[in-house]
A and B are shown apart, each in its own frame.
Chain A
Amino acid sequence: MPDDLARLYDGHARALFAFALNLTRSEADARDVLQEVFCRLAARPALLEGVRNERAFMLRLAHNQAVDLFRRRTTREKPELAREDEASTGHPFAASARADEEGFRRALADALGELPPEQRAVVHLKLWEEATFEEIAEVLAISPNTAASRYRYAIDKLRVQLRPLYNEVKNLWTTSNNT
């Protein structure tokens, strides 16, 4: 079992962590989600029996854990406050040495943070997990049409917020490539 757990961790922990971090906006919460997913899998290995897509199944577990965390938090404290406290560690993107890229990633993280969690989850799965709307629907237990409409709404919001910065970064990138 530990070997199997290690295999699962090496294969999926990065994706689960990024997904959980994007949902919770807190490194500590993302760790709790990750920990809980692996504890559940270790305690009940039969959960994965007959599962065709391990990644999708584990993402679903992570999503459920994150939702539970949200529910617990909304009964105890305001999630916005927790989000502000964790703003420095809840950045879901890797750091970049280039200032323009780093600026865009921070702006993207902020824009994602302003999306409702359900839209953020769809955007994450679509862009960074390259999942189809059918797969997203399976992970989030929603219909494919709902997944598609949430994605459209979210991308439109991100486009409005990030378009100026995106154009700027794109121009810089084009200029540096030409020179």
Chain B
Amino acid sequence: MDDFEQYLKSQPLRAVPPEWREDILAQATAAAGGKPAAVALPWWQAWLWPSPYAWGALAAAWAIILVLNFASQQDSGGPASGDARMTQLEIIAMMDERRLLMDAFYAEINPPHAPPPPPAKLPDAPGATLERQEPEEHPLA
């Protein structure tokens, strides 16, 4: 430390105004009385104490995720519309059943007059060929 620094160091600093002492001590004591240090923090406050903002942000993020999840379930139908889908399937099945019953009923009261035509000769039947059969010339041609 050179002369200049020593000279700066020798400059006396201001004292605290003496009338502050009682006031500051009284207020400090009152503050201690108002919020005694012996009283422990509530458990949740003690748990959140190291980083309350981080915990708050995490809680907010979870709340947003839950809201988004709920909203997406609402948009896509959700479990309630699953029941509705089952009901529609049941209705379709019931209608199919009624149609079959009706077909059976009409078949019973109106039996077919002609036997069904014989099945067409399949190409893979014996004697069948895949070659195109040329039509016979018309006798008048």
Contact = CB atoms under 8 A, between A and B. Distances in A.
Interface in A139-169: 155, 158-159, 162-163, 166, 169
B35 A128 contact: no
A105 B9 CA distance: 11
Interface residues of A, number: 40
A159 B2 CA distance: 11
Interface size, B (range):
20 to 34
Interface in A11-40: 13-14, 17-18, 21-22, 31, 34-35, 38-39
Nearest to A6: B25
B27 interface: yes
B59 interface: no
A interface, over-half SS: helix
A42 B28 CA distance: 6
B9 to A, nearest CB: 4
A43 B11 contact: no
A120 interface: no
Interface of A: 1-2, 5-6, 9, 13-14, 17-18, 21-22, 31, 34-35, 38-39, 41-46, 91-94, 104-105, 108, 127-128, 130, 155, 158-159, 162-163, 166, 169-170
Interface of B: 3-5, 7-9, 11-16, 20-21, 24-25, 27-29, 31-32, 35, 37
9 contacts: A5-B25, A34-B24, A42-B31, A46-B37, A92-B13, A93-B12, A105-B11, A158-B8, A163-B4
